[in-house]
């Protein structure tokens, strides 16, 4: 019996948005979906039970971090990543390519793979497309990502072309290296901020053939118009029947615009990272909880929010916890932010399913403008 499959339940009439279901060995993911990030086998500050209560159906873990600590073989010996972290639902593992290029003090790229220096202890490691797949198979995630080369923005055209050729070659090697029948593998489309390269990359990766397709190398400093053009150029070349995943994107605006352009899956550290810095998402924009105006504010962070934080605690209390550097403050902020994003995705799914995304989109931006006025 197949453990992975994707089916489209409904297509929007006036956009590329679609409603779907992605089946894995650890349950179903309703799409469009947002995956909370748990790089080191934990979504910072929250337990698996709390994530389940928020409605999270799949999380992202990072193969780079888990390879370095505690080690993919250790996790394999302990029963795999699901058992290791006590998470019963879906897991997608990123290959760690982005972290290698952004975190490693030393990083050398060749056609064979990447030699990098651990940010933990300075030890040297060499990662190839084959070992990237082997690591993720040892972890036992439901979805593994191919190894790709990430470029800084803006990238010269010649560098982007060379990187694209290497990434596509790595994608073929990853595809040939897979051994587990119960683990899906997603190919990654690169091409920097050049739409013509995105078209070329998407066609090449689709020809190799993967269970799903991701758009990498976006939300790295480019303007929204450039990002949207890259998404549109890529989506048109990808198989209609496969899930599409936009990596590292997480603001409500970006989620909305991605869904409208045919994206099914998203991940981002933003909800949890902003929780740790006191930036809270609300229906009317952001709240910086450390601001003095909330010192005696008895109202909830967002009066329209039904999360446990807004039902129980005041802005004044959350501000106190944040300024006192209490762990509870970070946990509550994170809980609220993930509730906001996951609820927003549920509302997006409802709008797409009822073919009223255009009206949802119009009302979303109207509400934001009204709050700024």
What pTM did the predictor assign?
0.97
- pLDDT band of residue 103 (cuts 50, 70, 90) is confident
Same domain, 119 and 46: yes
In this prediction, residue 373 carries a pLDDT of: 65
In this prediction, residue 146 carries a pLDDT of: 98
12-35 average pLDDT score: 97
Question: Active-site residue among 182, 267, 302, 367?
Answer: 267
Q: What is the pLDDT of residues 148-168, one digit of tens each?
A: 998 889 999 999 999 999 999
- CATH number (domain holding residue 44): 3.20.20.105
- pLDDT for residue 102 is more than 90: no
Give residue 346's domain range.
275-372
Q: Which residues, listed in sequence order, are joined to residue 26 by a DSSP beta bridge? A: none
Same domain, 106 and 254: yes
Question: Active-site residue among 94, 148, 211, 254?
Answer: 94
Q: Residue 264 catalytic?
A: no
In this prediction, residue 106 carries a pLDDT of: 87
Alpha-carbon distance of 104 to 120, in angstroms, equals: 9
Q: Which residues, listed in sequence order, are joined to residue 114 by a DSSP beta bridge? A: 109, 127
Same domain, 92 and 14: yes
175-185 average pLDDT score: 97
Which of 268, 302, 320 is where one domain is finished? 268
Q: What is the pLDDT of residues 134-144, one digit of tens each?
A: 999 999 999 99
Same domain, 168 and 316: no
Same domain, 367 and 231: no
Q: What is the pLDDT of residues 207-224, one digit of tens each?
A: 999 999 999 999 999 999
- Nearest of 232, 247, 231, 234 to residue 199 by alpha carbon: 234
Q: Residue 254 catalytic?
A: no
Burial class (CB in 10 A: 0-12, 13-18, 19+), 292: exposed
Structural domain total, the chain: 2
In a domain, 3, yes or no: no
Residues of the chain with pLDDT > 90, as a percent, come to 93
Same domain, 340 and 355: yes
Which of 249, 268, 287 is where one domain is finished? 268
246-256 average pLDDT score: 97
- pLDDT for residue 257 is more than 70: yes
Which of 214, 238, 268 is where one domain is finished? 268
In this prediction, residue 1 carries a pLDDT of: 46
In a domain, 94, yes or no: yes
């Amino acid at each position: 019996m197949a453990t992975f499959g994707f089916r489209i339940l409904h297509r929007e009439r006036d956009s590329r948005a679609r409603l779907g279901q992605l089946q894995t060995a650890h349950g179903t993911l309703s799409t469009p979906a947002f995956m909370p990030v748990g790089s080191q086998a934990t979504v910072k500050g929250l337990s698996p039970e709390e994530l389940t209560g928020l409605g999270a159906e799949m999380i992202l873990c990072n193969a780079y971090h888990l390879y370095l600590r505690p080690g993919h073989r250790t996790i394999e010996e302990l029963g795999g990543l699901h058992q290791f972290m006590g998470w019963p639902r879906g897991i997608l593992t990123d290959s760690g390519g982005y972290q290698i290029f952004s975190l490693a003090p030393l990083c050398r790229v060749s056609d064979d793979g990447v030699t990098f220096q651990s940010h933990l202890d300075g030890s040297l490691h060499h990662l190839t497309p084959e070992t990237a797949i082997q690591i993720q198979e040892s972890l036992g995630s439901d979805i593994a990502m191919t190894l790709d080369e990430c470029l800084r923005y803006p990238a010269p055209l010649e560098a982007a072309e060379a990187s694209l050729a290497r990434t596509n070659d790595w994608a073929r090697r990853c595809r040939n290296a897979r051994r587990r029948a119960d683990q899906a593998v997603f190919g990654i489309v690169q091409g920097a901020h050049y739409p013509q390269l995105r078209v070329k990359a998407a066609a090449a990766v689709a020809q190799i053939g993967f269970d799903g397709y991701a758009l990498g190398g976006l939300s790295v400093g480019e303007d929204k118009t450039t990002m949207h053009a890259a998404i549109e150029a890529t989506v048109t070349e990808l198989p209609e029947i496969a899930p599409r995943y936009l990596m590292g994107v997480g603001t409500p605006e970006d989620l909305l615009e991605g869904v409208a352009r045919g994206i099914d899956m998203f991940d981002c550290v933003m909800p949890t990272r902003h929780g740790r810095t006191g930036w809270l998402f609300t229906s009317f924009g952001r709240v910086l909880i450390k601001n003095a105006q909330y010192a005696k504010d008895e109202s909830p962070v967002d009066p329209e929010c039904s999360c446990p934080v807004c039902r129980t605690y005041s802005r004044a209390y959350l501000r106190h916890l944040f300024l006192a550097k209490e762990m509870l403050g970070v946990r509550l902020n994170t809980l609220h932010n993930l509730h906001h994003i996951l609820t927003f995705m549920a509302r997006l799914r409802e709008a797409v399913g009822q073919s009223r995304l255009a009206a949802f989109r119009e009302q979303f931006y109207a509400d934001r403008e009204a709050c700024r006025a």
